[in-house]
């Protein structure tokens, strides 16, 4: 016999129990758990893509992919004929397209890495997750550069190449990230001879940011909206002080980083981190994003050259993180599945420059700029696909599990 009323009552009771359990879990976590969960990935190097309340439909993968591609396109202008990219011309040489793309990477990384830490604030598990995301693919890249690309594209004899100190200095990057940019007599006909992989400089800064997250949390400076915002603002003020001709002649003793780049990128990282804590308290407005682009365009168009080097910076530090995460949260995954063939952004980032150098060397000036960009992109995509499917995807399986009660 069928009892529809009883069925409805049981269904309502189950729903009530579910809602109460969900509410208790939210209170234990201290945040709105179901709205965002974490993938097994994090940042430029990253892969922790949040899953918002829309069920995971967002644009983090797409935005990282576009940023990696933007770095390749920006570098193509320099590697093709040592000319500025269009955005660099428009902004009086203050920023390149590649600069903006790197900042976008750091903003996303700050947001996602902070999310990863808040989800499981265990230092050793956190550091292992960061290491298995960034190091295996980088190590393979360095080994291929030294033992495959080097012997093929060096103008030196193999005995001279392998006996040169520069070869082994470059390989030491496996331990402390690449400190030297060149291999002996490699890419000699290029606009940038010997320079094997220029973009790797940013990985040292990102590693510093990874280490700072648990350290700041330990001292109570990361873990709340206002405290994390204070860190981000302090770093942004330091960047502005450097822009006002205060240029300390110091080098960081451990990671060998140029101070201006280090502070600038770190400021964007912690801006993304601060916005993670504010994500449910601020309004994500397309009008505010449009206003940002109008302000930047007006500042770059009408300000005379010297002030224009300064005017956009405060707006950038205040609004670029907001705009980046506004676009990252847009629901595009269903019709633009950027990660359909894997998370390729990191592979594109670390293989683009070597592939561009190879194409430039083999073409010997015979390619137009569009053809050069197209061939470089094709070679880089193949390299990124191989890196993801042969190295990165398998390395991610080594990530430690999260706390059992809050596992995603």
Q: How far apart are the C-alpha atoms of 399 and 360, rounded to whole Å?
A: 38
**328: closest CA among 119, 50, 21, 8?**
50
Contact 392, 347 (CB under 8 A): yes
Looking at residue 257, its pLDDT comes to 65
| Helix (H) or strand (E) run with residue 13 in it | helix 4-29
Percent helix, strand, coil in the chain, to 5, is 70, 0, 30
Contact 228, 277 (CB under 8 A): yes
Distances 256 to 206, 299, 311 between C-alpha atoms, Å: 13, 34, 29
Grouping H, G, I as helix, E, B as strand and the rest as coil, residue 307 is helix
Looking at residue 385, its pLDDT comes to 97
Average pLDDT by consecutive 10-residue portion of the chain (408 residues)? 44 49 47 35 47 63 96 95 86 84 97 94 94 94 95 94 91 70 88 91 92 94 89 86 57 57 90 94 90 80 58 75 94 79 94 96 90 97 97 92 47
Instruction: List the chain domain ranges.
Output: 41-406
- The tokens describing 216, both together, are 């700041």
106 CB burial (10 A radius; 0-12, 13-18, 19+): buried
- The tokens describing 47, both together, are 């892969």
Grouping H, G, I as helix, E, B as strand and the rest as coil, residue 186 is strand
Grouping H, G, I as helix, E, B as strand and the rest as coil, residue 366 is coil
- DSSP code, position 222: S
**242: closest CA among 261, 256, 228, 255?**
261
Residues paired with residue 266 on neighbouring β-strands, in sequence order = none
Looking at residue 1, its pLDDT comes to 47
**110: closest CA among 233, 216, 267?**
267
The secondary structure of 108-176, three-state, reads HHHHHHHHHHHHCCCHHHHHHHHHHHHHHHHHHHHHHHHHHHHHHHECCCHHHHHHCHHHHHHHCHHHH
**71: closest CA among 108, 109, 100?**
100
Distances 186 to 72, 77, 166 between C-alpha atoms, Å: 20, 20, 11
408 CB burial (10 A radius; 0-12, 13-18, 19+): middle
Q: Which residues of 268-288 are buried (b: 16+ CB within 10 A; e: fewer)?
A: bbbbbbbbbbebeeeebeeee
Among left, alpha and beta (phi > 0; psi -120 to 50; other), residue 96 is beta
Residues paired with residue 195 on neighbouring β-strands, in sequence order = 182
Looking at residue 109, its pLDDT comes to 97
Instruction: Give the list of residues 6+ apart from residue 197 with CB closer than 8 angstroms, or none.
Output: 141, 145, 178, 181, 350, 353, 354
């Amino acid at each position: 016999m069928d009892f529809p009323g009883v069925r409805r009552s049981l269904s309502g009771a189950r729903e009530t129990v579910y809602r109460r359990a969900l509410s208790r879990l939210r209170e234990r976590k201290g945040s709105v758990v179901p709205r965002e969960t974490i993938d097994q990935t994090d940042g430029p190097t990253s892969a922790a893509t949040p899953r918002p309340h829309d069920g995971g439909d967002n644009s983090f993968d797409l935005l990282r992919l576009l940023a990696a591609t933007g770095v390749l396109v920006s570098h193509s202008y320099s590697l093709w004929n040592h000319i500025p990219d269009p955005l660099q011309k428009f902004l009086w040489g203050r920023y390149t397209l590649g600069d903006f793309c790197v900042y976008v990477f750091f903003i996303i990384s700050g947001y996602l890495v902070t999310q990863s830490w808040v989800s499981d604030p265990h230092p050793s598990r956190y550091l292992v997750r960061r290491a298995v995301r960034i190091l295996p693919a980088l190590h393979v890249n360095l080994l291929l550069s030294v033992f495959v690309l080097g012997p093929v594209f060096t103008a030196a004899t193999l005995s001279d190449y392998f006996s040169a100190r520069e070869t082994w200095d470059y390989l030491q990057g496996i331990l402390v990230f690449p400190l030297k940019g060149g291999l002996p007599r490699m890419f000699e006909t290029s606009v940038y001879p010997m320079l094997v992989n220029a973009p790797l400089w940013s990985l040292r800064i990102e590693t510093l940011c990874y280490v700072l997250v648990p350290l700041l949390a330990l001292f109570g400076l990361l873990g709340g909206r206002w405290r994390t915002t204070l860190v981000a603002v302090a770093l942004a003020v330091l960047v502005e002080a450097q822009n006002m001709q205060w240029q300390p002649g110091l080098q960081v003793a451990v990671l060998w980083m140029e101070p201006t780049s280090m502070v600038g990128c770190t400021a964007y990282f912690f801006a993304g981190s601060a916005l993670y804590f504010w994500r449910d308290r601020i309004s994500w407005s397309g009008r505010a994003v449009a206003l940002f682009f109008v302000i930047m365009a007006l500042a770059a168009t009408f300000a005379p050259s010297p002030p224009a080097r300064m005017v956009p910076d405060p707006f950038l530090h205040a609004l670029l993180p907001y705009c980046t995460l506004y676009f990252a949260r847009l629901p595009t995954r269903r019709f633009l599945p950027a990660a359909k063939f894997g998370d390729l952004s990191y592979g594109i980032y670390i293989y683009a420059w070597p592939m561009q150098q190879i194409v430039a060397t083999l073409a010997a000036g015979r390619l137009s700029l569009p053809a050069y960009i197209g061939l470089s992109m094709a070679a880089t995509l193949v390299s990124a696909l191989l890196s993801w499917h042969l190295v990165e995807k398998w390395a991610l399986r080594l990530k430690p599990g999260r706390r059992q009660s809050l596992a995603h």
